[in-house]
Amino acid sequence: MARHYSTKNFFRQMPNALLARYFTDRRLFDDLDFGAMKETKPDALFDARLELPEERRKPMDAEFQDVFELSCEKGFRAIIDEARWQMRANPEALTDFVETLSALPGHYHKAMVTYLDHKKCWTGATRFYHADTLSYWRKRKHLGHEPAAVDDASIQQLSDLSWKLFSPYAWYG
């Protein structure tokens, strides 16, 4: 089933403590008492956000939509995949990262903690997730299973071909 983003619903799903961290980092809504707000009742926050000029709201909405997109099982897998790559030299850090995220209560929580605390993993995870959710990719089963040609001659051949295709000077003979 498709998921649809709305800021109000996003605020309802996100724990108040994480929303407070997000807005504190941006020095916004210092007078808003996030601790006094009831979980799933962020009406005061939503109203305060509407008071911001549109040029301040738009970038935040884009960030919230990214967090929303990764706040699901598939998003969590994308985060873990990227963490495996980013932390490949330090397996203990990867284990700690995965255990810490897995212990969090929900996918919204996991996505926002990754966004706030692990920027290196965040960027790659959003790209993985986006690629994984493209609907127009088709798997080609009729192609052979040849290993990649990574010898020096093949790499040079690819380089020469790339220059011919993408160089602006190549078109002029």
- In a domain, residue 13? The reply is yes
Residue 81 confidence class, pLDDT cut points 50, 70, 90: very high
- In a domain, residue 129? The reply is no
Q: Is the sign of the CA dihedral 60, 26, 85, 158 positive or negative?
A: positive
Q: Which domain holds residue 28?
A: 7-69
Q: Cβ(106)–Cβ(114) under 8 Å?
A: no
How many of the other CB atoms lie within 10 Å of CB of 63?
Answer: 13
pLDDT in tens, 8-51: 999 999 999 999 999 999 898 888 888 888 888 888 898 999 99
- In a domain, residue 89? The reply is no
- In a domain, residue 51? The reply is yes
- In a domain, residue 92? The reply is no
Question: How many structural domains is the chain composed of?
Answer: 1
- In a domain, residue 27? The reply is yes
Whether the pLDDT of residue 1 is over 50: the answer is no
- The pLDDT value recorded for residue 166 is 61
- In a domain, residue 32? The reply is yes
- In a domain, residue 134? The reply is no
pLDDT in tens, 112-128: 999 999 998 999 999 98
